[in-house]
Structure 1
Amino acid sequence: MRTAESNPLIIEGHTDDTGRAVLAARGELVHGCAETLARALARLPAGTRRIEVDMSGVGFMDTAGRGFLDLLRDHGERHMIPVSAVNWRGQPRDFWELCKEVEQLRRAMATRPVIDQARGILMATHGCTSEEAWQILREASQLSNTKLRTIAATVTASAEHTATAPPEPVGRALRTAIARFHGGGGAARG
């Protein structure tokens, strides 16, 4: 785990004759980085008219980096001066890609139970293996151009006594995929 103690963020800077403060950040934007920035901002002279933070020395940014950037923005708004973070080397892009991946994994974990239930229902009602049930769901998803979790939810809903008929494209795709499975050599077995 990266912490401010194991790889501290160092911020050095100067203010030029125009009142522009240039702060150079070196290290990692991890837990504790916002506090380091707060100390650097508190040391700026009263006549500071603009703040520019050079991020070229930052090698890594985790979720704490967002707090760092929020603090910088809030400071600018509070003092009514422009602020900017410049010379990035891809750190925010890496961070946002990781956030996107985490969200996709969370969504997958949330939909996993309904997919597993649908597989179980197909296995029980059609005498297929777990893999064959997966292939039926996958094929129905492709045939109807519908997300697999929606197909799975349709299958689980159909097992309830109060179930309503699925939308026609989904129902047709499920019937086709199941018929191919029962027909022997269809795409659902492959």
Structure 2
Amino acid sequence: MPESEDRPSATVGSPGLTIGTAADGDRTRVSVAGELGLEVGEELRGALRAALAHTDEGLDLDLSGVSFCDCSGLNVLLAVREQALAEGKSVTLDRISSVVERLLSLTGTLPLFLPAAGMNGTEQELGVEVVQLRRAMQTRPTIDLARGVLMASFGLSPQDAWEVLVAVSQRTNTKLYRLADGLVEAVRGDPLPEPLRREVAAAVARLAAAGTAEAD
């Protein structure tokens, strides 16, 4: 469909992040490229909320250009999704990168952004979806704490600590929030199960080896 005259396309963003919007009939397409971490969270939130305010039906997101996304980026998407539900609109994923797909799959939030999860359900189904959104948002503080534990314990950067969490979650088939709970409880005195402890150590070692190889 042609773009409407009162909602022209636009591209904004700070270095490392590009956000483009374009009207598509009653919906707005938002293309995001770059790294979605804590430092760009508010910028992304503002851009998505502005786009949501100027669309009648909702947003279709193209995240195929996202090269990094952690729970801070996910939390922005969840918050905008909940706002859209409250306004009778929807936020769906049109295209996503493998990085985003991995994060959404690990956190169990991918179904919330599929076109089928739009506004066509019953009131009860929508109520369940809101509960799921809020639950997903509530897991972020624990995951951020766990990332801090890895950073302090192994001298990792925020991004490397995130990669370790994701790698261990995948290799052990453990939900990301459950792994995070275990790491936080380990600091409080409850030992991390030995299989998980070994996987964490192995993931850190692999990361260090990869860094050494790149330096050479």
Q: Please give the TM-score of this superposition, normalised by the length of structure 1.
A: 0.46
Larger radius of gyration: 1
